[in-house]
Amino acid sequence: MTVTVRAAAKINLHLGVGPVRADGFHPLATVYQAVGLYDDVLVADAEEWVVTVTGEAHVALAEVPQDGSNIAIRAGRALAAHHSIDRAARIEIHKGIPVAGGLAGGSADAAATLLALDRLWSLGTTDEDLLRIAGELGSDVPFALLGGAAAGHGRGELVEPLEDHGAWWWVVVGNAVGLSTPAVYRHFDELTPAATDPVIPDSLVEALRNGDLELLAASVGNDLQEPALDLRADLRRTFADGAEAGALATLLSGSGPTVLLLCRDAAHAREIAGAMQAAGHEHCWAVPAPVAGAHVVSYD
């Protein structure tokens, strides 16, 4: 018996960052949106915890740990511990989400593993418990369970669904060289010694509720963008190329280095993806949003 769960990449339409907390994390006021790039996670019973990782050609598989430090195994162990059961599983991850891209691919794998094992073992874990276990694994894991669009507070793990009536299209521009999330947050601290408590702009919430493309374009923003660009000057060209190609807004995804280009519709997204590829950005995807959170795709 196997269960396969699909989980989507996330982007942050707004990423407001406050002053570093005593525990080393930063208070966030963020708006998450799930976009159409996916990892699939298959689970089956096994004697010992084991993970295998495969992926699409663009995924830097060498950067994904294949031992107990993989976040999917940590998720499986946390779920078993929560239910006080002594079981283990084989976890097969197939990645379509770029690694270390600011798209929360590892968080998607953790969320997918939680849901898949809950189903495989018929545990009936409540949504509240799943979200709490998810939040202990990583700041972005609860949102990967939810999908759609959501507000995120705390260090990102406290999520509240938002109404999103848009049929949005993004071009996601990947980068061959990853960027370390802790390094970007550290550089934010250096550049922003007087950071204030972050808030979510009302205009962004309204743009999502009304599916208002122009208002969305005017309302997106990311406090990690300047620190990331300061560490990675090459990204400035990606932003310039995106603007030149006609994107309605350009935005860094999370802590980067992935860059997001807001498009009018599917045809516009395909056109912009083509222009970006012609400008030398090899890995571009035209993707819809919002899409579903972690969900079962097969029982075999």
Active site (annotated) includes residue 10: yes
Q: How many CB atoms lie within 10 A of CB 284?
A: 24
Residue 21 C-beta: closest distance to ligand C5P, Å: 8
Of 105 and 166, nearer to ligand C5P (C-beta) is: 105
Is there binding between residue 270 and ligand C5P (CB under 6 A)? no
Among 124, 182, 193, 280, binds ligand C5P (CB under 6 A): 182
Site size for ligand C5P, by CB under 6 A? Answer: 11
Of 185 and 231, nearer to ligand C5P (C-beta) is: 185
Of 139 and 175, nearer to ligand C5P (C-beta) is: 139
Among 6, 10, 26, 283, binds ligand C5P (CB under 6 A): 26
> Is omega for the bond preceding 257 within 30 degrees of 0, making it cis?
yes
Active site (annotated) includes residue 140: yes
Is there binding between residue 138 and ligand C5P (CB under 6 A)? yes
Considering only residues 238 to 267 of the shown chain, the ones binding ligand C5P according to CB under 6 A are: none
Is there binding between residue 280 and ligand C5P (CB under 6 A)? no
Of 135 and 242, nearer to ligand C5P (C-beta) is: 135
CB 151 within 8 A of CB 200: yes
Is there binding between residue 16 and ligand C5P (CB under 6 A)? no
Is there binding between residue 18 and ligand C5P (CB under 6 A)? no
Stretch that binds ligand C5P, among 133-141, 210-218, 226-234, 275-283 (CB under 6 A): 133-141
Footprint of ligand C5P on this chain (CB under 6 A)?
Answer: 25-26, 28, 138-140, 155-156, 181-182, 185
Which residues does the annotation mark as catalytic?
10, 140
